[in-house]
Amino acid sequence: MAQKHFSLLREFTLADLLTLGNATCGTGAIFVCLYALAEQQRGSLWWAFGLLPVAFVLDALDGWVARKLERGSRLGADLDSLSDVISFGVAPAVLAFTLGARGMWDTVVLIGFVCCGIARLARFNVTAAELADATTGKVKYFEGAPIPTSLLLVAVLAAAFAAGAVDDAMWGGVLQVGPGRWHPLTTIYGLLGAAMVSGTLRIPKP
């Protein structure tokens, strides 16, 4: 018997559309950053600061809606992870770059942060079944810091931006380390990246 063709559009549920809304907000924040760099319109960055919390709300709503309607999809888990990479991995890194963390070593740290976020999400997808409660099927805890915790970094940047700090001043000065420049405050991205891939850090899952 021929296998039934997988229809992408028919597979989508309301929860999946909310997940894509998350990805849309993250992508929009990245585009705002690119516009701010190209046109030297720093004021537009407030749109990026605002879109990322909206992405978080949509990220929380998609699971709630799927459970409430008792209708998930085979796409749900992968859509969620891919959207989270955009909104809570790539977008916060691009925001930091736009706000002045553009030294060679800053770039290394930010790329490492994004890679840690990708690895953390991949680990969750692979281990979710074995971490799930035998009775409820629900995962009780996150292994490593959840990638949406990057919004704490975004909040720090927003506070500094509101206070008028720009470029080197925003990042607590700049150092020349070997062949490249480094803003020491980008270390917070490196620390969060390490927390995301930690195998010992366990955080209860709501």
**Could you tell me the pTM of the whole model?**
0.89
- Residues facing residue 176 across a β-bridge: 181
Residue 135 has pLDDT above 70, yes or no: no
pLDDT at 131: 65
Rounded mean pLDDT, 48-56: 97
Residue 117 has pLDDT above 80, yes or no: yes
Unique residue bearing structure tokens 């209860």: 204
CB neighbours of residue 94 within 10 Å: 21
Rounded mean pLDDT, 34-38: 95
Element (H, E) at 176: strand 175-177
Give the whole-angstrom CA distance, residue 186 versus residue 162: 18
3-state secondary structure of 25: helix
Query: Residue 137's pLDDT band (boundaries 50, 70, 90)?
Result: low
- Number of helical (H) and strand (E) elements in the chain, helices listed first: 9, 4
Q: Share the mean pLDDT of the chain.
A: 88
Sign of CA dihedral 67, 86, 168, 193: positive
Contact 80, 59 (CB under 8 A): yes
pLDDT at 6: 62
Instruction: Flag the least confident range among 87-91, 158-162, 164-168.
Output: 164-168
Residue 130 has pLDDT above 80, yes or no: no
* Listed residue (55, 63, 57) closest to 24, CA to CA: 55
The domain locations on the chain are 12-204
pLDDT at 206: 63
The CATH architecture assigned to 12-204 reads Up-down Bundle (1.20)
**Which DSSP symbol is given to 199?**
S
**Which DSSP symbol is given to 149?**
G
Residue 7 has pLDDT above 70, yes or no: no
Give, in degrees to the nearest 5, the angle at Cα 198 between 136 and 20. 60
Q: State pLDDT tens for residues 8-24.
A: 666 778 888 899 999 99
pLDDT at 102: 95
Alpha-helical regions (H) of 12-146:
14-39, 45-69, 76-84, 91-98, 104-131
Query: Residue 85's pLDDT band (boundaries 50, 70, 90)?
Result: very high
% of the chain at pLDDT higher than 90:
63
**CA 86 to chain CA mean position, Å:** 6
pLDDT at 178: 94
